[in-house]
Amino acid sequence: METTKSLPNLSAEEQRILGALIEKSRTTPDYYPMTLNSLTAACNQKSARNPVVNYDEETVTLTLNQLKIKGLISTATGGSSRATKYKHNLAIVYPIIPSELAIISLLLLRGPLTPGEINSNSGRLYEFESIEEVLEQLQKLATDEPAFVKQLPKKPGQKEARFIHLLGDYVEHTEEIPALVATPQHDLEERIVKLEQEVEELKELVNLLMDK
């Protein structure tokens, strides 16, 4: 009889890096897997992140090593680049479909969210047909073995209940963050991530030419 794989208890840094890898695998697939520089920039984005952080590359490297030990990320090399790149393995370790990955990524990057917030912020990750579909996916994620999300008790005056992921502890942050959809700041940050990746690939190309 196959036993159910339990969920890891991820640190805040592990949650941010895993969420960023899932997000960028969908929003910038041409630049995925990600280099260390581009992943650090993705973690430190000021939009679509709660809380905003300022990780250095050493922090990201140490956290990637921890995630690799847990089997949740792997490295990718080859092609024209010799730079080490990183990709998530969450959908390999667990039977998660793209719609569920989108929800988990949003919760990892933004903290507790209502179904309406998930629906309005998920467009670049996955196109849900309706808020009812979001609710169905949340219900599935909450009742699966293992469960990936749970519903928080409603606060006084709240109309919608919020959901959190169960991949580690979370700390409540009260600052408001803008929606993921097309803000100039978010678009600029996406371009920075792409440029970081392109610079790394150009460096590798120059090194290859110099070695010849």
Same fold, 8-93 and 97-168: yes
35-63, pLDDT tens digit by residue?
999 999 999 999 999 999 999 999 999 99
The mean pLDDT value of the chain amounts to 86
Query: Residue 194: what residue type?
Result: K
CATH topology of domain 97-168: Arc Repressor Mutant, subunit A (1.10.10)
Query: Which residues are registered as beta bridge partners of 73?
Result: 88
Q: What is the mean pLDDT of residues 70-97?
A: 88
- Both tokens of 44, joined, read 């430190």
Three-state DSSP string of 8-38: CCCCHHHHHHHHHHHHHHHHCHHHCCEEHHH
Contact partners, residue 202, CB within 8 Å, separation at least 6? none
Domain ranges of the chain: 8-93, 97-168
**CATH annotation of 8-93:** 1.10.10.10
What residues pair up with 78 in beta bridges, in sequence order?
81
Please tell me the predicted confidence (pLDDT) of residue 156: 82
pTM (two decimals):
0.83
Q: Which two tokens stand for residue 130?
A: 């309706």
How many alpha carbons lie under 13 Å from residue 5 in its C-beta half-sphere? 14
Furthest-apart CA atoms within the chain: distance in Å: 68
Q: How confident is the model at residue 143 (pLDDT cuts 50, 70, 90)?
A: very high
Q: Determine contact, residues 83/101, Cβ cutoff 8 Å.
A: no
Given this model, what pLDDT does residue 5 score?
81
pLDDT band at 122; cut points 50, 70, 90: very high
Q: In the numeric block, which tokens belong to residue 96?
A: 């998660």
Q: Which residues pair with 197 in a beta bridge?
A: none
pLDDT: is 22 or 3 the higher one? Answer: 22
**Residue type for 35, please?**
T
Residue 66 CA to its chain's centroid (Å) = 16
Span 161-199, pLDDT tens digits: 999 999 998 766 555 544 444 455 556 666 666 676 666
Structure-model confidence comparison of residues 188 and 88, the more confident one: 88
More confident residue, 211 or 113: 113
Name the residue among 95, 97, 8, 108 with its Cα closest to residue 53: 108
